[in-house]
Amino acid sequence: MLVTGSNVQLLAKFKMEMQDVFEMPDLGIMNYFLGMEIYQCNSGIFISQRKYAVDILKKFKLESCKEVATPLAQNEKISKNDGEKLEEPFAYRSLVGSLLYLTATRPDLMFPAGLLSRFMSSPSNVHMGVAKRVLKYVRGTTNLGIWYLKTGRVKLDGYADSDWAGSADDMKSTSGYVFTIGSGVICWNSRKQEVVAQSTTEAEYISLAAAANQGIWLRKLLVDLGQEQSSPTELFCDNKSAIAIAQNPVQHGRTKHINVKFHSIREAEKNSLVKLHYCSTDVQLADIMTKALPKSRLEFLRLKLGMSKANLKEE
């Protein structure tokens, strides 16, 4: 998910450039678009999907349900063989589809929605119960959105992380990354890896490669918006071994089993497009994209991603 406009001046400049190229009317300041609510002021931009979240709760008759503090139970493993299959899977698919659209402004829901989408073909009553728990979490956080404060410069930073063998069905890992510009996150992703990683280092390395590719694309997009990045995009990872492999061009025994396509990150760093840095797990923002977290950790990362409640936008 990409949200342009972390800076008010950048938006204004982009609009003027668009009007120079295309014949288009000026409808004024955007307030609502495809379920997204946008609040703009001198200090920044706040985006959320409060109304859409409320509509989802009403659709599934959970608008008065009891709230929960986290979308997923910590350390709970979900398998495709859990529980009896639903006779009418349409409701489950509709619910998961709604959650996926809600991730447009809710990075805290990206991992739960991605996890539930793995069971769309044959959902069970257990999967439906987990999906409803996510809605109970949404019930208590309908006012959450992303706050983009006005900053003096546009600097792209990225965080990449991975779990290891998190899938109970095929033992594949989950990659996650987030990119920030200034105060808020602009791009995030959580996806199960294509191959089975044979170590935590390999899983982290695959995640780094995916994040590097996304970072290069974002750099090209920023050039089109007149915000060229003069320095390499800093990419933070909490695995020193994965960073060492990326920085070592020599192919040795420990890396021969890693698919060649994942080594593209070496070229990206060599060409000064990205710069890898180690960060401790405590400040790894992409941690929220790879696993279920306890309440305190979830709230900490939400804040670091620039997420806050709607009533804060007027303070």
pLDDT digits (tens, 9 = 90+) for 143-178: 999 998 877 778 899 999 999 988 888 999 999 999
10 domain-assigned: no
Summary mean pLDDT of the chain:
87
Say what the pLDDT of residue 2 is.
40
What would the two tokens of residue 13 be? 């400049």
Res. 4 pLDDT band, cuts 50 70 90: very low
Q: State the pLDDT at residue 30.
A: 79
292 vs 258, residue with greater confidence: 292
Q: For position 245, what pLDDT does the model report?
A: 86
Of the candidates 215, 216, 171, 222, the residue with the CA atom closest to the CA atom of residue 193: 171
Residue 261, pLDDT score: 67
Q: What is the pLDDT of residues 58-80, one digit of tens each?
A: 999 999 889 999 999 998 889 99
Any domain includes 201:
no
Position 3 confidence tier, pLDDT thresholds 50, 70, 90: very low
Q: Which one, of 36, 47, 31, 8, lies nearest residue 305 by Cα?
A: 47
pLDDT, tens digit, 9 for 90 and up, residues 229-277: 889 999 999 999 899 888 876 655 556 556 666 778 888 888 889 999 9
Do the beta carbons of residue 128 and residue 86 sit within 8 Å?
A: yes
Question: Is 111 a member of any domain?
Answer: yes
Flag whether 220 is in a domain: no
Residue 92 lies inside a defined structural domain of this protein: yes
Q: Which of 52, 56, 13 is nearest to 33 (CA)?
A: 52
Nearest in space to 85 (alpha carbons), one of 135, 130, 127: 127
313 pLDDT band, cuts 50/70/90, is very low
Q: How many domains does the chain have?
A: 1
pLDDT band for 133, please (50, 70, 90 cuts). very high
- Its domain, for residue 62, covers 50-144
pLDDT at 279 over 50: yes
Query: What is the model's pLDDT at position 18?
Result: 75
- Secondary structure (3-state) at 191: strand
186-222 per-position pLDDT tens digit = 999 999 999 998 889 989 999 999 999 999 999 999 9
Q: Is residue 112 part of a domain?
A: yes
Residue 89 lies in a domain: yes
Q: Is residue 30 part of a domain?
A: no
